[in-house]
Amino acid sequence: MASTSKTDQFIADDSATSDPGDWIQVDVRTSLDAGELLGILNDPNVTGAWQEQECIHLYWPAARCGPDTWQGLRLALIQLGHTEPAGTITINDLADRDWNAEWSRLVEPIRIGLVVIRPSWKEVALNPGDIELIIDPKQAFGTGHHATTQLLIEWLQQVVTPADRVLDLGTGSGILAMVALRLGAAAVVGEDFDPVAIDCARDYAQVNGFDARLTWLLGDAQARTADDRFEPTLVLANLDRQTLLGAAETLCGYASGGARLLLSGLLNDQRAEIEEAYASHGVYVKAAREQDGWVALEATGMESCEGGLCS
């Protein structure tokens, strides 16, 4: 990547190249949370992230990053109070063939209630009634390990009904969409603006044997789905704060039509801002769940609030 040079903030590998098949791996030694950094960064080109103790690893396609990328990262870190000394951020080239090797060494099976998510090379003893998904890490991050995803997987196990038509906005790897269908929903649509994510989700669905009741749509969470024939009864949005704010009108439109909203991707101190924004559209939070400093919310339109349960 010829446009990157060594500075007091970033250290670039001198051997890095800009081959279209290559990736840029950015390692940040920090106590910050990876999900929080992604939310503040709000860069559509960042393709993956994982956290290992005191280090956050971020990935960009080599052909889609440059000076603006690093400036955006620097500003996001400053905004989050990153004050560690120079030399704690390293940019390196990562060949495309090495991508899965980096992720594979970290991914372990995880159980969330009845839902078991595992990579294909790890076996798990299942109990009667368990729901198993085989998810090998790919270039659309989302293997079920983050609290924001786990909160919704737990919640889905209690609220999905056979009559539900579920829309998963910002589906990523498609885990929530697949869980909803396995739990008995009538039909599920997973939507994402990133074609790489849709391709990965489609591959996962094929590996796990899903049928035509699960479909994928390339679209934007901030606009109504192009398939107006699909009227969801339950909408999932595991997004970041800024996207949830930008998509408020769209999401509240679904809620006004009678759909329940399950929102995730928020830190505790971001909850009030989201509640206020959605209330301005006549949509109110009726329940919340927390895990590791993250919060998920259930919201409905005013006509769905009975007995003053919505706040």
Name which residue leads in pLDDT, 136 or 26: 26
Name which residue leads in pLDDT, 300 or 53: 300
Q: Do 202 and 273 belong to one domain?
A: yes
**Which residue shows structure tokens 């995880």?**
110
Q: Do 157 and 289 belong to one domain?
A: yes
Number of domains in the chain: 2
Q: Is the pTM of this model over 0.75?
A: no
Q: Do 207 and 58 belong to one domain?
A: no
pLDDT-derived band at 13 (thresholds 50, 70, 90) equals: very low
| Residue 233 included in any domain | yes
Q: Do 222 and 287 belong to one domain?
A: yes
Phi, psi of 257 (to 5 degrees): -85, 5
Tell me the per-residue pLDDT of 179-237, one tens digit each, with 9 for 90 and over: 999 999 999 999 998 887 898 899 999 999 999 999 999 987 777 765 667 899 999 99
Q: Is the pLDDT of residue 17 over 50?
A: no
In this prediction, residue 87 carries a pLDDT of: 60
The mean pLDDT of 93-103, rounded to a whole number, is 63
| Residue 122 included in any domain | no
Q: Do 175 and 300 belong to one domain?
A: yes
% of the chain exceeding 90 in pLDDT = 42
Name which residue leads in pLDDT, 105 or 263: 263
Q: Do 83 and 194 belong to one domain?
A: no
Give the range of the structural domain holding residue 257, as residue numbers without chain letter: 141-304
Number of Cβ within 10 Å of residue 116's Cβ equals 19
In this prediction, residue 145 carries a pLDDT of: 76
Final residue of a structural domain among 44, 77, 103? 103
Least confident stretch, 3-12, 82-91, 92-101, 136-145: 3-12
The mean pLDDT of 110-134, rounded to a whole number, is 93
In this prediction, residue 152 carries a pLDDT of: 97
In this prediction, residue 97 carries a pLDDT of: 57
Residue 190 near residue 216, CB atoms below 8 Å: yes
In this prediction, residue 128 carries a pLDDT of: 95
Report the range out of 2-11, 73-82, 175-184, 298-307 with the highest average pLDDT.
175-184
| Residue 175 included in any domain | yes
State the Cα–Cα distance between residues 214 and 208, nearest whole angstrom: 12
In this prediction, residue 74 carries a pLDDT of: 85
CATH code assigned at 279? 3.40.50.150
Tell me the per-residue pLDDT of 250-271, one tens digit each, with 9 for 90 and over: 999 999 999 999 999 888 999 9
Q: Do 171 and 282 belong to one domain?
A: yes
Name which residue leads in pLDDT, 106 or 18: 106
CATH code assigned at 26? 3.30.70
Q: Do 53 and 150 belong to one domain?
A: no
Nearest to 242 by CA among 109, 72, 108, 105: 72
Final residue of a structural domain among 103, 120, 152? 103
Q: Do 154 and 290 belong to one domain?
A: yes
Final residue of a structural domain among 77, 103, 129? 103
In this prediction, residue 12 carries a pLDDT of: 30
> What is the SS3 string spanning the chain?
CCCCCCCCCCEECCCCCCCCCCEEEEEEECCCCHHHHHHHHCCCCCCEEEEECCEEEEEEEHHHCCHHHHHHHHHHHHHCCCCCCCCCEEEEEECHHHHHHHHHCCCCCEEECCEEEECCCCCCCCCCCCEEEECCCCCCCCCCCCHHHHHHHHHHHHHCCCCCEEEEECCCCCHHHHHHHHCCCCEEEEEECCHHHHHHHHHHHHHCCCCCCEEEEECCCCCCCCCCCCCCCEEEEECCHHHHHHCHHHHHHHHHCCCEEEEEEEEHHHHHHHHHHHHCCCEEEEEEEEECCEEEEEEEEHHHCCCCCCC
In this prediction, residue 303 carries a pLDDT of: 62
Q: Do 149 and 260 belong to one domain?
A: yes
Name which residue leads in pLDDT, 128 or 55: 128
Q: Provide the token pair at 255.
A: 């809620």
Name which residue leads in pLDDT, 309 or 61: 61
In this prediction, residue 31 carries a pLDDT of: 77
Least confident stretch, 4-8, 20-24, 235-239, 261-265: 4-8
In this prediction, residue 14 carries a pLDDT of: 29
| Residue 218 included in any domain | yes
pLDDT-derived band at 21 (thresholds 50, 70, 90) equals: low
Burial class (CB in 10 A: 0-12, 13-18, 19+), 279: middle
